[in-house]
Amino acid sequence: ANIKSSEFHLNWFSGFSAAVNALDNVDARRHVNRMCLASGIPLVEAGTTGYLGRVFPIIKDETACYECFPKPAQKVYPICTIRSTPDKPVHCIVRAKENYKLLFGPQPEESMLNEDETVEASTYSEAASAFRKGQKHRIDDLLVGLFHADVKKEKYKGKAKPLSFSPAQAPTVSNDDRRVWTRDECAAVIKSVNVTAKEFDKDDEPAMLFVAAAANLRCANFDIERLSYYDAKGVAGNIVPAIATTNAIIAGLQVSQLL
């Protein structure tokens, strides 16, 4: 159940001698922290991030609480880096998500790739506008505009190389999501994927297929290492893999603190 549900009220918390957290998000952790402080019961807080982990007890009027520690802010990248000077796969993932917002989102003008109508439209912008209006056959124009014609512009100062594509079969992720796709396979994915979600969600396979393929082609433009579907999904969703041994050690330390 959801620990923030109204059925788990203050009296419910007060019925326990202590609480041990094993939660997966900051909002729920803050809630339990406040409920335990209000009910006066000790809380053993813990968390893991990859190979890192920590455990600390929270006791009212004796220790610092969960919200006494600042939480790291989500990483934000400069628009100029995303638009023109990427040098890491994550920059290309972010741009691909902006592509998604521009092509499929309910408010494409919110995409950082949306161009002012007062300036001369790029090849990609014109194709994107036609695509949004239902001209799905313009997908080839999108590919040419985004990964060939527009990367030849002066703003890249020769750092980007235009791509050309040959017919290929779009790969599937059901059996092999760790293999890095070729450029032609990425282009085939973009041509064939049937995107229906208006908001990007890493767990929506068509949406993630589009973002992974578009990001890898952007990586190819700038000679940046390409990612497998699995790795692209981790970056796009800010996923840090859970390590079983780390979780076991931290859980053991929690029990020690509880005792």
Q: State the catalytic residues.
A: 80
Distances (CA, A) of 99 to 55, 63, 129, 162: 40, 47, 12, 18
Q: Report the alpha-carbon distance of residue 66 to residue 49 in Å, rounded.
A: 17
Q: Report the alpha-carbon distance of residue 88 to residue 231 in Å, rounded.
A: 13
Query: By the 8 A CB rule, do 184 and 165 touch?
Result: yes
Distances (CA, A) of 165 to 68, 148, 158, 193, 217: 54, 10, 20, 17, 11
Coil, helix or strand for 2?
coil
Q: Identify the bridge partners of residue 45 per DSSP, sorted by sequence position.
A: 56
Sequence-ordered alpha helix ranges (H) in 121-204: 123-132, 139-144, 183-192
Task: Dig out the tokens for 132 from the structure.
Answer: 């949004």
Provide the CA 227 distance to its chain's centre, in angstroms.
Answer: 14
The two most distant CA atoms of the chain are separated, in Å, by 69
Query: By the 8 A CB rule, do 242 and 47 touch?
Result: no
